Amino acid sequence: MKIKIILSLCLFIIFLPIVVFAQTPFIYPAPDGIITSPFGDRVHPITGNTRFHAGIDIGYDYGTPIQSAADGIIRYYGPADGFGNAIVVWHPKLNMGTLYGDVGLIQGLHEGQEVYQGDVIGIISPVGDSTGGHLHFEVHLNDIDFHVNGAIVTDPLPLLEGTMPVEESFIGSDAHFFNFDWSKIADIALPVKDIIDKIATTSTEGIQNIKPYVLNLFMVVVLIDITLTFCIISISDNYVLNDAIKVLIKKLISNKL
């Protein structure tokens, strides 16, 4: 059992990056929300103008607590034009940031503070330009303290649903980060896990099968060593009976028999 645990731990450490990257990176900022405005070009509900929407709007009731989508560090926490208030969190482990707009702030939170996935960081409030209670949610590739023209953004919805984005899905200047297709990593994660389990099981069974032979071989080697030692003592003039007994006892102790 111990051998199987050790082998599993070693293989787990080797393939840990694949397992980590295959997991869903974000959680919804609050449950039971409805997407009221998608990512991309749209007709603004207040101005009537067509313009690019850098995130998604999720409808919630006023007073709904908003959670950090992942572990991170607060980059911005305060008033923002168009949003009333905004919160920007950078997630170093993911190399991505999230923005939460049209929210009320919580006393005690501040820029530079570390937050964890699920921590409440704001409340849906009647602030900003809106037609009802909602959260404006963005995902940034670059580490910025607020939504500016240089932001690199992507549609947050696939991330919230558990799909890692590919480089082509990012929109903005110099939108280059991913050097490989994350979806392929996700596709091989399960087969890799199966391989790890099979290797660990097979290795454990193999070791269990040869264990009796290894023990028997060790016993034979020890007996040969003791026999040769006795023969050497018997034909040597340098040992008396008491010395011979002491040598044999030392041999027995050293071989832990």
One-letter identity of residue 188? I
pLDDT at 20: 43
Main-chain dihedrals φ then ψ at residue 27, nearest 5 degrees? -110, 160
For residues 66 and 108, is the Cβ–Cβ distance under 8 A? Answer: no
The model's pTM:
0.57
Residue-by-residue pLDDT tens, the chain, 257 positions? 555 555 555 544 544 444 444 446 799 999 989 999 999 888 776 666 788 888 999 999 999 999 999 999 999 999 988 788 999 999 998 888 999 998 999 999 999 999 999 999 999 998 766 677 899 999 988 777 665 556 788 899 888 887 766 655 666 544 433 333 444 555 666 677 778 877 878 877 777 778 777 778 878 877 887 777 766 666 655 555 556 566 666 666 665 54
DSSP readout, the chain?
-HHHHHHHHHHHHHTHHHHHHTS-----SSSS-EEEE-SEEEE-TTT--EEEE-SEEEE--TT-EEE-SSSEEEEEEEEETTTEEEEEEEETTTTEEEEEESEE--TT--TT-EE-TT-EEEEE-S-SS-SSSEEEEEEESS--SS--TT--EE-HHHHHTT-PPPGGG-BSTT----SS-HHHHHHHHHHHHHHHHHHHHHHHHHHHHHHHHHHHHHHHHHHHHHHHHHHHHHH-SS--HHHHHHHHHHHHHHTT-
CA 141/CA 151 separation, integer angstroms: 8
Separation CA 257–CA 243 (nearest Å): 20
Residues 121, 65: Cα–Cα separation, whole Å: 8
Two structure tokens written together for 26: 């974000």
